[in-house]
Amino acid sequence: MPPISSSSRRSLRHVIFFIFTIIYVIAIGVFITWLVTKRKKLHYSVQNASVQNLILTNDNYMSATFRITIQSYNPNHQLSVYYTSVQIFLVFEDQTLALNTIVEPFHQPRMNFTRIDDTLIVQNAAVPKSIGEDLRAQASLGNIEFEVFVKARVRFIIGFWWTAHRTANIKCSHVTVSLSQRNNFQNSSCYANI
């Protein structure tokens, strides 16, 4: 058997080095993927909701200004969240009464509470007769119960690595808004699916 030349040894070392480099890169990728998939769930709640200038005409046209404060909690130690866009919908008995899109992107750091304040304006919106009747009935009792839906485009960040965009669908049920001047709002927790 002929002896192995030094150039063959060098080529063999390069091949082994290349294989170990590939294994190392794959291991890092698997570790980062594990960190992302092991992430803790983000928590959302409606911290405040109020309505002003609520007008509901006899022919079922509605005008109002709703102010909503949603709190997002990121309990993760390793990853932060980048919100590309946020859409907030105000729904009464499966009827969307108002929506607004917050297009100003923002970043939520690790272990952080972030408030999302939004104003949704309804201007002479036609509502079905049954919805108008139910709105009037609840308003006569001094409270209106809504659902708040949030649809957000998010990316998770670990160090310099950003995930692909994901859609966060958040549903906040039983958000009760008082029509009196005294704001005694009860926080409402939300269910999030990301």
CB-based contact 122:66 (threshold 8 Å):
yes
Kindly tell me if the per-residue pLDDT of 6 is higher than 70: no
- Per DSSP (E only), the strands in the chain are 43-56, 61-74, 80-92, 95-102, 106-108, 112-126, 143-158, 161-162, 166-178, 188-193
- Per DSSP (E only), the strands in 75-158 are 80-92, 95-102, 106-108, 112-126, 143-158
- How far apart are alpha carbons 43 and 47 in whole angstroms? 12
Where do the structural domains in the chain lie, given as residue ranges? 1-38, 42-193
Q: What is the pLDDT of residues 65-106, one digit of tens each?
A: 999 999 999 999 888 999 999 999 999 999 999 999 887 899
What's the whole-model pTM score?
0.78
Q: What is the pLDDT of residues 31-52, one digit of tens each?
A: 777 666 577 899 999 999 999 9
Whether CATH 1.10.287 fits 42-193: no
- How far apart are alpha carbons 87 and 95 in whole angstroms? 16
- How far apart are alpha carbons 117 and 178 in whole angstroms? 18
